[in-house]
Structure 1
Amino acid sequence: MLAPMGYFFPNLLSVQLGPALQSLSRPSHMIMSHLFSKACDQYDGKPNNPRSRTQDKLKNNINYCDVDETGLLMRLVDYNDDGDAEEDEDENGEGEENEKNVGNGNSSGGVGSGNTSNSGGNDVSVRIPLEKAIVESITNASLNDPGKMKKYYDNILIVGGGLSKIDSYDLILTDRINIWRPKYLSTTAFGDIIDFLKSEIKRNTLKKQQMIDEAKGKGSNNKENEGSEGITQEVMDKIDAECELQLDLDKIDQLADEGSVIPVTILPTPREFDPSMLTWKGGSVYGRLKVVNEMWISQKDWDLLGNRSLFYKSIFNY
């Protein structure tokens, strides 16, 4: 019973931080490091191994299912406004520092602490229940195109020989997703909610800029206390307080109620073969397609491009 519940309560499974990657007690790490070096850009030498938005958002073990309604909406707003900037800052700043810590086996957080790093396949794990990870991933993937959310929830397929071999796992996972999925993330009006948030941000930004322009027009007699905006810090603080983003939860609730609940469909594993062989079955079919010849990575390609050849040759962004 402990093993299947570990998918939904990962803290039941105690995972200890392993020794340093270059430790002789783990020679396999040295072998892997020799075969697959850390992915770096050939022009600036910075790590360029891609990470998903979900990986960056879960650094602090905070997900959409564990915050209140206001916190959830603010996280959606932060994604649309500052997501790219936060990602660039992490990749160029914190990411490099965390790589050193993980590489030396001195990460203060340890496995499951919520810290991630861009260390070429040796990222520190984040403990999060399976149903919450699914909600987080689908939400982040649907922010730019909310219409895809229903398609994602209609096509959830578990592969591998672990969870898929547990009887009635599809019913359990469906119930867990429906229990933890917030109201705003389970409605077909999700796109309308995102549009409303964007309009509120735009209106609030225009209001703030208008107040700043009016304050500049009035001028100030105290030139010493003027900030870079040409107005005093006291006036700027007052403007910030008046223009603080206030979300109309009643309006958002009304938008959510206008839509219907998005059903969750866990695709059942085919009965005619072992679920642990599902990926191999798909690979066998894929291997018989003519287009697969264009996907082969030759020795020359690897010598020229390194692991970048995976990005150029693969039809999926790894």
Structure 2
Amino acid sequence: MVGKKSGKALRDEERTDNNMELSSWPQIPAINQKNYYTDYLKRDDQNLAYRLQNEENRARMAKKAKDHDREQAMKNEAAEGDAEGDGDANMEDAEETPAEVIGSKVIVVHMGSQNLRIGLASDALPKTIPMVIARKAATNESEDYDEPKPKRFKQDDGSELEPEKEFGPEWSAHFGRMSADLKVHMRLNKRRMLPNSKEMVVNYNRRTVPEIISEHNDPMRAEWTELSSPPPEYIVGQPALRVPDDSKPRYKLYWPIRSGWCNEKDYASKRALFLDISLILEDAIKNQLHLTSKKEWTQYSCVFVIPDLYDKSYVTSVLEMLMREFAFARVCFIQESLAATFGAGFTSACVVDIGAQKTSICCVEEGMCVENSRVNLKFGGQDMTETFVKMMLHDHFPYADINLRRRHDFLLAEELKKNICTMVEASVSPQVFDFHLRVAGQDTRKYTFKAFDEVHLAPMGVFEPAIFDNENKIDGRRTLIDRSVDIYEGSPNDPTSAAQSEILTAIAPPLNTGKTEPEPEAQTPIRPPALKVEATPRSSVAGSPAPEPTSTPQPPTTATAAAPTTAPRPPAVEYRDDIMPVFGLDNAILTSIAHAARSDDKKMRDFIGGIMVVGGGSLTQGFHAFLEERLQALRPGFAKEIMIGTPPRELDPQVVVWKGASIFGKLSTTNDSWIGRLEFDRLGPRLLSYKCMWAY
């Protein structure tokens, strides 16, 4: 061990550091790891969205105070008795320009699978245009497929089958079973029926022949779209549906939204898909709202309606399109069911929205959608139309060549469904109807036909969706638009619902037990006794108890989904893309209400007594009374409380959602939901988690 050096020895040593620091940078002592704290981005006032909102509120308050002071000063000057000329001059100087109508600078957009509804928030009703675009192509949509729609089976040698057999034995058996059940139900209700009604219809339709009407003698002849020279690259809306199928050049129809999802089946890229959406919106704004100059759009705001169970990637893409391409000043989003309650003026309700290809159910309580009650089913009015055509063809419909892929046949089938279909049992009897077939370049043909129970059984398919053609509805899903995932965990973060999870679990394929037994007849799935579902979405902080098993409605004996009841079920599944969400409407409504009430008897009675049905699919005559009867049969204990309501003030059920969104856009309390250009340029889609009124 070396001993210590004396002070004299140390002084004698030569210094080499010149007594200078190694660096001019200040030396910061190490932080105490046991006691440190930071509040960075932990307070609302540190977030850009909240800062801009507070600045806007302060500016509004300052303007209000200045206006108040100016008004008081003018009153004082008038009271002092100044000269009339000076007073009038001061009044003219202080007089401001007249205030614009509330909502006149707000564009409200509601996109559906079949129709687009758009208008200013100050308008009483929206403009409705088909959500379709026709583009130049080598072939049209009917020539792209070898088989017509609805699909017919043929014999092995290619020859056609009899009409009773061309849709397969399973579908024919299901149709016959539904017809027999209807006869039993009508006899129980003391309604007289002829025993040979079906034979009368078939025999009449077999021998009927069309009547030829020359075009100049047809007062209701259709106006077909005339192509200009040179022909346009694309045609949007109603003119697209009126382009003749044999036009030169050919045009092919594209529907960007199918079954409430983005149509990934018919598009080659995501960019082409959203390009068509933007072209349809642009054409509607220019031609329907008469805002022809894009420079004006920067002064307008936009309220966009999204589904209750939405895809986050779809919402972010729409936000990017509205802010970048359309350059709106502000954008906000509202969910469909919440907008429906705004339009009807209800504070709490169970909203059932039956669209063209999608049916959504959601319970709304005190201005908020109950997250676990959201249900999204993939059937609607177009499925009723196709099923009605199949049933009529099964009974020897005289126009046997009908093909819903052709534009004139599609429009004809929609018209027949709206005019003929009914759910009033008193109207179910053999009746004679007629229609005019109008094809471009051909004489009009007038057909007469008889229909019996087809007019009732086709719309009844929403309660027994196995009669619908659900084969190709999920083709192409997730081929262009990937599922949104959490950036930290990598797990899917799209919104989930306990009610939707329960329905998907009920119709999920059975577990493979290794036994090869024939599948039993399709019956309604029964909920497993212990179903572990996620009680709240991932974005929620606190969990909620799952509903009691007794609160779930017991399914009826009729078939509503093709799934065996005795097979073991897999664990509860979340929103899966390989399972088609098709379930009986009555069971789905009660499942949604059960998850919204969460075993609370008072909430159960409130929701079950406040069911509001909206959407074009609910316009079938007698639909509300029939749905009420079905629900009462499932829950006899609540028979007196069950009530199906309609939108008040005789408002069209098809525009209730748009009307609610327009009211939402005019409210001064919605400032929290608006996304401005400055904050979007800085934060992008991350703003949605701060701006949406629900847990995004």
TM-score, reference length from structure 1: 0.51
Percent pairwise identity: 29
Structure with greater Cα Rg: 2
Give 1:157's aligned amino acid: M
Partner of 2:661: 283
Query: Counterparts of 1:155 and 1:49 in 2: how far apart (Å)?
Result: 28
Q: How far off its partner does 1:170 sit?
A: 1.3
Q: Taking structure 1 as reference, are residues 39 and 272 closer, same or farther at Cα in structure 2, changes over 3 Å only? A: same
Aligned match of 2:603? 148
- List runs of 5+ in structure 2 lacking aligned partners: 1-454, 509-522, 539-560, 564-568
C-alpha distance after superposition, 1:164-195 (max 9, x if no partner): x11221111100111123x6xx45xxxxxxxx
Q: 1:172 aligns with which of 626, 630, 648?
A: 626
Deviations 1:25-80 (A, max 9, x none): xxxx63xx2xxx522222212111121111111223369x968xxx87x74xx35x
| Count of aligned residue pairs for this structure pair | 196
Counterparts of 1:74-89 in structure 2 under 5 Å?
A: 75=529, 78=530, 82-84=532-534
Q: Which runs of 5+ in 1 are unaligned?
A: 23-28, 89-110, 188-260
**Partners of 1:160 and 1:275 within 8 A in 2:** yes
* Aligned-partner Cα distance in 2 for 1:310–1:145: 32
Q: What's the offset of the Cα at 1:285?
A: 1.1
- Deviation track 1:126-166 (CA, whole Å, cap 9, x = no partner) reads 22111110011111221254431111112111121111x11
Q: Which has the higher helix share?
A: 1
Task: Tell me what 2:579 maps to.
Answer: 124
Q: Distance in 1 between matches of 2:592 and 2:681?
A: 31
Report if the CA contact (8 A) 2:498-2:535 is conserved: no
Task: Report the counterpart of residue 476 of structure 2 in structure 1.
Answer: 20
How far, CA to CA, are the matches of 2:689 and 2:605 in structure 1? 28
Is 2:466 the counterpart of 1:49?
no
The TM-score normalised by the length of structure 2 is 0.25
CA displacement at 1:314 relative to structure 2: 2.6
Aligned amino acid, residue 476 of structure 2: A
Alignment of 1:129-278 (within 5 A): 129-143=584-598, 145-163=600-618, 165-181=619-635, 186=637, 263-270=641-648, 272-278=650-656
Q: What root-mean-square deviation, in Å, do the aligned CA atoms of Structure 1 and Structure 2 show? A: 3.8
Distance change (3 Å), C-alpha of 1:9 and 1:302: farther
SS at match of 2:616: coil
Distance 1:304 1:262 in 2: 52
Q: Separation in 2 of the partners of 1:286 and 1:271? A: 18
Q: Deviations over 1:214-238 (max 9, x none)?
A: xxxxxxxxxxxxxxxxxxxxxxxxx
What is the CA–CA distance in structure 2 between the aligned matches of 1:3 and 1:303, rounded to whole Å?
Answer: 52
State whether residues 154 and 264 of structure 1, in contact with CA within 8 Å, keep that contact through their aligned partners in structure 2.
Answer: yes
Partner in structure 2 of residue 235 of structure 1: none
Q: Distance in 1 between matches of 2:462 and 2:662?
A: 29
1:61, 1:126 within 8 Å by CA — same for their partners in 2?
no
Letter in 2 for 1:5: M
Matched-pair contact (CA < 8 Å) for 1:112–1:125: no
User: 1:198 is matched with which residue?
Assistant: none
Shift of 1:284: 1.2
Matches within 5 A, 1:108-119: 118=575
Alpha-carbon distance in 2 for matches of 1:83, 1:21: 24
